Structures are given as structure tokens and as C-alpha cells.
A and B are shown apart, each in its own frame.
Chain A
């Protein structure tokens, strides 16, 4: 078993670079104050908090990031981005992690499995925005 917790090899650097490219944010601006997690309306449903996810990105721990449900529970309400003291668009980082996964496996939500009755009842924008965030 390797005791090397932190590796900064090519794989880690590529992952961080890709997240930064998609989001347009500098992930190292984050000084882990936790204000995003504190204000997030959905923190209670996340297995790891928003700031913890960002820290895992900072240290290149790709697997732990992709296993978390944090970015899927995110509803893009942007409260985190508006309050971040370092002006990081935190929601964009969440979107970047979603996109990173969706660009490999585009169907987080299987559209075919939504029952017809739901289609009739649900508002259009719910469907449109859901598919925007959960499909590639």
C-alpha cells in the first residue's frame, strides 16, 4: 500500500487544469473559509461539503471528487458565488465537475425513464433546466 497521499503527477495536474478550463476559475484562489458550504441551501443532502470538494480538486484527488454527490445535489442557485470573499464563481466549479463527468457519460438522468404523466404535469423550465445540468 502506498503511503503517498498527495501525488502531483500528470493525471492530477490534467484534472485540475481541465476543471479550471471549463469553469474559467482559478481553483487555488480558494482559502477554504467555508462560507459557500455555510450558505448552501442543500448542504445537508451532500456527502461532502462544497468547500471540501474544492479542496479535493486543489489537491488533484480526482476519484474522490467524482465519487461525491455534492455537485449533483447542487441546484445552481448561485448563493455560494455571490458570497465568496475571493470572488470565485463556486457554482461554475460545480458545473465544471458535472461537465467533466457528463462529457464522458452524458446521461446522468435517463430521459427515457421519466414517466409520461410527469411530462404532462411538470413545468417546461423544470425539464429544460434539469436536462441542461444533468445531460451532456
Chain B
């Protein structure tokens, strides 16, 4: 056993508070130390050469470097070892900069502490073993779950890069919530107009397989090799044959609330979500249809010229393998039925933000005319209530939903554009206009469109005759405000969608406190999750506006591509290893693992079937939780074994 010790001065960074010469001298006395040197900048080329020369000439088998944090130069020094044929995992780095020099002022104390840490490292180093980096293969296909703008953008980016991508969407058309919006702030671009070209691109792209009316029901495997089961629900209409002529509509006897128009207009059991839907085909809603199996009505099939209706379609299970997955399952809006002081959703003229989008949309239930749901008259006074359900830790959502100040301003502005002599009043607490050109938009609404902003939250509202009485406050003048409105629009916030909850369970990604998927790091890894190979994009992680969502989607696509471009993935050697003979199959390690990287499998031991833990080396991140949790000490954390740690601790314990 021959250990080489190298202490770095790091200019005055370390040398100022640690007497490095002294440390090097003391290190020569430690067991197994063959050579002990100091150098001004160990990470520099000459510094590295110093180590390389010693490895060769002195036949070293372990190297200890005392310098800055391993986060800085662990890869650098590992490369040095590899260059000279040593296993990179027999390198030990001692942090005497951040952990000693930068936090102590007294040089004597600093020197003693550095020596102590170095001794621990030397004792541990003697026990370190060479480790292997395993390789796994990669399937070059991507799966995108969710067909809103985030999923659409991510799929297009991946497909343009040349990867085969499957886009799975639960409903009959992609487009998501953005397809329901009328105009987008702050440019007032028509939402459908900017979205449709992307949707058509998806349908035409040779690298994208679009599975609509489909759901992911099972995901197994690990990064590079996800085994996925997708359930494709029957459309009962053959997509390629449907010409969208609409001859089936008049003959269908069933009427339902149209979900696309928020229930304000009717649709039939055979329907198309909206004219620009992709796939461009009608679909039959099996729950609305009078009967498919056994067949009861079938009038639509008789009326269909191109013979596109096929009642024999059955659900299919598609099994496929993917290298990376992007979850983009979007949001729902907070239901106004939950807010008691605003009527629990029972007052017809009190509507949500998304309801208003449909009313003002020219493709909506009123053809773009702003009419009251109760009597169809044009409202002359419209009140917009911000923070309806958001910023309310007491009974609703504790967080701010980010986009409502902007969309309420947009609504007020749009209302004034259509009803010139109307009054728009926005009750707000704070106006949040943090995006590009957002503040100017707010200024425009107030200055050019005379939208009235009153600072104060509405306490309650109720039906008073055919108007709605609002009890609010103007905190800036210190008065209560009571007024009658013809229409009230509640700026409801954003909550995680049903799809998000389901996917989180299937993929084993953790949800944050508010039900949104938790990113790997809120600041530096916004599109990764704790599971390798699973990425996220869009409002699935929290409220976002459209530019952010699109950036997110491209980011996720690029992260996914990082995996898909490779033929093999290397896995870090410092993973957990189970000694099967000691494992009693209790499963505590499975619960302890945050990465779902360990599971119990049945094996045959001397004729008995027992459960034994197996580590999925591709998913294991070497955190050591399982090793610590194991009651039988059956699990070893490679590179950080118990004996190594104990040796380190005993050195630190000495005077």
C-alpha cells in the first residue's frame, strides 16, 4: 500500500490560514504514506504532472489530495489517476479550503484541523477499493405525456432533432388550455392562431407519433430503458377517413354540455372539440352515446358519407420502450364551487376566468359578444375579482397563481374594447406584472381603456334582484365599497391537473406541498426530476405563463436529448450493493430510497423462495440511505463503506 499525499496552497486561499508546510511534514508520519508534497496550485498542469510523475515512479496505489471542495476538481484529479492507469475511485479529496481555511482565523487551529482531516483521509484511503463504472444501453425514442403547448413544443423540438417521439394526450385533441384562450397577454395575439400552426406541425411531422384519447398506464424500467404501457381508447371514428363534414351532428339525439366552451353550449355524443382540433377527426363519447356494445342508435354511422364510423373499435394496449420521458400534464383552474363567500358557483352571473375567455372568444358560445349567462343581456358594469382562491392559506390556495393579475387586466381591457360605454372594475390586492412588456400592458389598461383598479379584496357578493351586490373595500381611501355589478368574473388560480396526480403515482415522482410535481432543484434544475430520465415541462411544476412554458418545454427537450443522443450511459461507480446472504427481505431500504432504485425480488435460496433486495444500478445515485437504513448491514455503499468511515472518524477523534 503506497499512498501519495498532495497538499495545495491555493495561493493564499489556503496558505494564509493553514501552515501547509507543517501539514505536509506531519503527513509523512501517517501509516502507508509513501510521499507527501505541497504545491502552490495543485489543479494546474504542473501540479497534475507532479502527481502523475509520482504515480509512475513511486508506484503509488492511492492518492489523497488536500485542496478545495471536491465539487471543484474531483473530476480533474480523477482524470489524472485514470491517465496513469489507476482506478479513478481510489482518489480521496480533503476539503481544507471551504471547511478549514475559509472558516477559521487562527492559523494554529487551522493547521491542526487540516492535519486531523488529512489523517482521517489517509486512514480511509488505505481501505478504498477500485470501483467500476457500468454502462447501460439507450433506446433512442422519447415519450411526451400531455398534449398542451408544453408537450407540443417539447415534441417538436425532439422530433426536429431527429428523435422518434410519441406524444400521448388524454382527450380527443391536443392543444390543452391554450386552445381555450381567446387572446394572449401582453401582445393580444389570438391564441388559436399562434397555436394551430404548431398543432398542425405535430400532426405532419414524420418523427412524431400522436396518440390521442390515450393514457399512460404503466412505466417500468430506468433511464435509457423505460418500458411503457399506453392504453389507447377507441375513437369509434377512423381518423384518416373523417372529412369533418358534420353530417353526423344533426342526427345524433344526445346532447351534453360542451367542455371546450366550459358548459355554456351543447355538443352531441359525436363531436369534435373545436374546428382546429388535431387529430382532425370527430370522436364519439362512449359515456354520452346511447349504446355502443350493444349498439342502440347508430344514426351517425348511417349518415356518414365516407363511412368513417366504426363501432367495433376496442381499447388497445400499446407496449413500447423509451429512452427519456417528459411529463407535461398541465393544470386545471381552481373551481369557483369551492368559494363560499362568492356563491359556491350557484350564481349564474358569477363566472370564472376561463368561462370569460370562452364568452369573449368569437368561436365561443356567444360568438364573441359579451352577454350575461342569466339573461343574455350586455353587462354594463363588470367586476373582476383578483386572487379568487389564490394567496389564501386559510381555506384555498396558499400560493400566488402568477398569471391572474395579467389575465384579469386583459379581460377588463377586452371588455372595454367590446362594450365602450361599460365600466370595468378590478378589485386587487397587488398587481403582479413581472414578465416582459407586462407592466406596460397594465399601464395601457388603466390609461387608455380606463379600467378602474380598486385596492381591496371583496368580502362577499350575492344576488340582489337581477344584479349582483358586491361588498368590497378600497383600502387606499379607507372606505368600504358597495356596488351593483351585472357580471362578476373571478380570477381563479391554477391547480395541478388530474393527469399530474396520476402520472406522479405511475412514475414515482414526488409531488410538492401543493400537489405540483417537484423539480430536482427549484433554481438550477427546473426541468429535471429526482428520477433520472424523467423530465418535466410547463405548468405541471407550478403556475407559469406561456413564454415560460415554451422555454421550459425546449429545455426539457434538450435535457432529454442529452440522454437520447448517447448510445450508452455510464453510471457512477459509487452505488449501493446488497449482500444477498445477509438480506432478510424486510423492505426498509425500499421505503428509504428517494429514487425508487431498490426493490425486493423473489429468489430461490436452498429451495425456499425468499425476498431479497436488488439495486437498480442505473437509477441508484449513491446517497447511502438504504445502507444506513438496513438493519442487517446487508447493504454497502461502495466508496463509502462502514470501515472507511469508521477509520476516518477514529482519526478525527484523536488529539
Interface residue ranges, A against B (CB under 8 Å): 31-40, 43-44, 48-49, 51-52, 79, 83-87
Contact = CB atoms under 8 A, between A and B. Distances in A.
B480 A49 contact: yes
B478 A52 contact: yes
Given A34-B475, A87-B393, A39 B429 contact: no
A49 B478 contact: yes
A75 to B, nearest CB: 16
A97 B457 CA distance: 24
Contact of A86 (B394, B471, B473, B481): B394
Contact of B457 (A38, A48, A87): A38
A88 B460 CA distance: 18
A34 B460 CA distance: 12
B146 interface: no
A128 to B, nearest CB: 29
Contacts of A85: 387, 391-396, 457
12 contacts: A33-B391, A34-B474, A34-B475, A39-B459, A43-B473, A44-B480, A51-B475, A52-B478, A85-B394, A85-B395, A85-B457, A87-B394
Interface string B448-460: 0000000111111
Nearest to A84: B394
B394 A34 contact: no
A67 B475 CA distance: 20
Interface of B: 341, 387, 391-396, 429, 455-460, 471-475, 478-481
A52 to B, nearest CB: 5
Contact of B456 (A33, A44, A86, A87): A33
B394 A48 contact: no
Nearest to B476: A34
B478 A83 contact: no
Contacts of A49: 473, 475, 478-480
7 closest A-B pairs by CB: A39-B459, A34-B456, A38-B459, A38-B473, A34-B473, A85-B392, A87-B394
Most chain B Cβ neighbours within 10 Å, of A39, A40, A52, A86: A39
A31 B647 CA distance: 55
Nearest to B475: A34
Given A34-B455, A35-B458, A86-B393, 18 more contacts: A32-B475, A33-B391, A34-B472, A35-B473, A37-B456, A37-B480, A38-B472, A38-B481, A39-B341, A39-B460, A39-B471, A43-B480, A49-B480, A52-B475, A79-B459, A83-B341, A85-B393, A85-B396
Contact of A35 (B457, B474, B478, B481): B457
Contact of A38 (B392, B393, B480): B480
A39 B473 CA distance: 8
A38 B455 contact: no
Contacts of A33: 387, 391, 429, 456-457, 475
Contacts of A39: 341, 459-460, 471
A35 to B, nearest CB: 4
Nearest to B479: A49
A53 to B, nearest CB: 10
Contacts of A52: 475, 478
Contacts of B429: 31-34
Q: Which of A51, A83, A87 has the most CB of B within 10 A?
A: A83
Contacts of B458: 35, 38
B88 to A, nearest CB: 53
Contacts of B387: 33, 85
A83 to B, nearest CB: 6
A113 B473 CA distance: 37
Most buried by A among B391, B396, B429, B459: B459
Contact of B471 (A31, A32, A38, A87): A38
Nearest to B477: A49
A39 B458 CA distance: 8
A131 B458 CA distance: 33
Given A83-B341, A83-B459, A85-B457, A37 B475 contact: yes
A49 B473 CA distance: 9
Nearest to B471: A38
Contacts of B392: 85-86
A3 B638 CA distance: 68
Contacts of B471: 38-39
Contacts of A48: 478
Nearest to B341: A83
A119 B459 CA distance: 37
A48 to B, nearest CB: 6
A131 B341 CA distance: 32
A23 B36 CA distance: 66
Contacts of B481: 38
Nearest to A44: B480
A59 B185 CA distance: 38
A94 B325 CA distance: 55
A44 B480 CA distance: 8
Nearest to B429: A33
Nearest to B472: A38
Contact of A37 (B391, B460, B473): B473
A83 B340 CA distance: 10
Contacts of B396: 85
Nearest to B389: A85
Contacts of B391: 31, 33, 85
Contacts of A43: 473, 480
Nearest to A43: B480
Nearest to B397: A85
Contacts of B341: 39, 83
B241 to A, nearest CB: 54
Choose among A31, A34, A87 the residue with the greatest number of B CB atoms under 10 Å from its CB.
Answer: A34
A16 to B, nearest CB: 20
Contacts of B475: 32-34, 37, 49, 51-52
A34 B457 contact: yes
Contacts of A40: 459, 480
Nearest to A32: B475
Nearest to A49: B478
Nearest to A53: B478
Nearest to B456: A34
Contacts of B473: 34-35, 37-38, 43, 49, 51
A85 B341 CA distance: 12
Contacts of B460: 38-39, 83
